[in-house]
Amino acid sequence: MNRSLTELVKHIGKFLATSSEGYGIFSHDDSLIGCNQAFATLFGGSPDKFIHLHFADIIRHAFSTQKGIKIDSDDIEQWLATAMTKRRTQKFRVFEVDLLDGRWFLVSEQILASGEMLFQARDITAQKNIEFELSAKSSKLRTLALTDELTQIANRRSFIESVNTEISRCSRLKANMAFLVLDIDYFKHVNDTYGHQAGDAVLISITQLIKALLRDYDIFGRLGGEEFGIFLAETDSQTALEVAERIRTKIMQHKIAFEEHLISITVSIGIAIPAAQVKFESIYKRADVALYQAKNSGRNKVILGSED
């Protein structure tokens, strides 16, 4: 080997030894031929400890010492069996791994014609943190777009989307369903008498009362102003009436504290029993007619509209 090539090899060796990127070479039978310290750190050990070890034994070491890569399994042999179904299936493979210390690495595996595998791992923690931050912000923005800011329940848009989806599901299953539209009686009087902050307190309080009376999978949303919608899947007309009466009674009996005032509120509720494959606009109109009847006949009432 001439001098220039010898010097180049030395430089490469120094680079690999001090590099923050992990490098390793596996033989055709998956035993480690050589690696740098950054590679060994990925599995919680040192180059001297891992040389000539099989890939599976390196993974078992990381699992038993709880160092290096994160292994989301209580059964290391099952994890290895799954990993081996992917390993060496492609000449070039790229994937991400995360470490127990919170770091992330982009790993590439390249198989040579002779059967050896070149392994490289590059730290992508900074990029992943940005990705997670953007994802969290995106999720927050989506939640804000679908949630009523004051009451923290579904807004009109997301409520309608959810109801239409649930109508389709119930229709396929030939399941009963019911739609309730609820309106606060004389809500303008609350705002005029106590102020809009009192009105907000009433809306928040009523939302909490209603949520406590519903099942986790019932769909509840604010349609606008003092009007709310409730969709009850797998619910017949008699049960819908009972649910509506419980809501009406609970709200009537509850006094809402605002500053030095105790505010009494009642609600009127209209119920529609949807037919299969109907759309939200249709059931809303029918429930709204029943709501109008409840309002027109004295308020603080539940009216069941005519069934299809």
pLDDT value, residue 199: 96
Catalytic residue among 116, 131, 226, 245: 226
Nearest to 240 by CA among 160, 176, 288, 165: 176
Per-residue pLDDT, averaged over 21-42, amounts to: 94
β-strands 92-98, 255-258 pairing: unpaired
**Domain range annotation of the chain:** 3-128, 147-304
Cβ count near 303 (within 10 Å)? 20
Q: Same fold for the domain at 3-128 and the one at 147-304?
A: no
β-strands 22-26, 32-35 pairing: antiparallel
CB-based contact 100:66 (threshold 8 Å): yes
Tell me the CATH number of domain 147-304, given options 3.20.20.240, 3.30.70.270, 3.40.50.880, 2.40.30.110. Answer: 3.30.70.270
Using alpha carbons only, give the angle 235, 292, 232 rounded to the nearest 5 degrees: 15
Tokens (6 digits) for 30? 């998956």
- Tell me which fold the domain 3-128 belongs to: Beta-Lactamase (3.30.450)
Q: What are the angstrom distances between the C-alpha of 246 and each of 7, 60, 214, 243?
A: 86, 59, 10, 5
**What's the burial of 146, exposed, middle or buried (CB within 10 Å: 0-12/13-18/19+)?**
middle
CA distance 119 to 131: 25
Coil/strand/helix, residue 107: strand
- More confident call, 144 vs 305: 305
Q: How far is CA 80 from the centre of its chain?
A: 29
Q: How confident is the model at residue 308 (pLDDT cuts 50, 70, 90)?
A: low
Residue 281 annotated to the active site: no
The DSSP-derived string for 214-277 is S-TTSEEEEEETTEEEEEEET--HHHHHHHHHHHHHHHHH-EEEETTEEEE--EEEEEE-PPTT
pLDDT value, residue 249: 97
**What's the burial of 110, exposed, middle or buried (CB within 10 Å: 0-12/13-18/19+)?**
middle
pLDDT exceeds 90 at position 11? no
pLDDT by residue (tens digit) across 169-224? 999 999 999 999 999 999 999 999 999 999 999 999 999 999 999 999 999 999 99
Q: How confident is the model at residue 15 (pLDDT cuts 50, 70, 90)?
A: low
pLDDT exceeds 80 at position 89? yes
- More confident call, 167 vs 19: 167
